[in-house]
Amino acid sequence: AQTVTQSQPEMSVQEAETVTLSCTYDTSESNYYLFWYKQPPSRQMILVIRQEAYKQQNATENRFSVNFQKAAKSFSLKISDSQLGDTAMYFCASRGGYQKVTFGTGTKLQVIP
């Protein structure tokens, strides 16, 4: 079984500042993938970043990076130089083996001008 926990229902950040969204997970699989998805008001789910568990190096995508702590089962998302367009709901997710993907409950991020 897999679980994904996002303990921050809502967060806010000033434009151009840095914010970190938390996520912890649990899985019995040895080979698994972790994801962060963004859902803006348009409702379209967009992949932000993906991490393969066997890779120790933290994934980065432009202003987005993760802090993957495998032993602690932690997978936080850091957004640098926050922009108004980053305002959205962010979901953390995990998938191992052929198990279905499991999503957290989401963190609503508001970027303040």
- Give the range of 11-19, 69-77, 78-86, 89-97 binding other proteins by CB under 8 A: 89-97
Question: Pick from 87, 103, 111: which is nearest to 23 by CA?
Answer: 103
Regarding 85 and contact with other proteins (CB under 8 A), the answer is: no
Q: Look at the block and give the residue holding tokens 């997970």.
A: 25
Residue 27 vs residues 6, 23, 68, 87, 95: alpha-carbon distances, Å: 15, 13, 15, 29, 9
Regarding 7 and contact with other proteins (CB under 8 A), the answer is: no
Q: DSSP 3-state assignment of 39?
A: strand
Shortest gap between Cβ of 109 and other proteins (angstroms)? 14
Q: Which of residues 31-60 bind other proteins (CB under 8 A)?
A: 33, 35, 37, 43-45, 47, 50, 52
The residue (of 18 and 105) whose beta carbon lies closer to other proteins is: 105
- Amino acid identity for residue 20 in this structure: T
- Amino acid identity for residue 27 in this structure: T
Regarding 64 and contact with other proteins (CB under 8 A), the answer is: no
List contacts with other proteins (CB under 8 A): 33, 35, 37, 43-45, 47, 50, 52, 89, 91, 93, 95, 98, 100-106
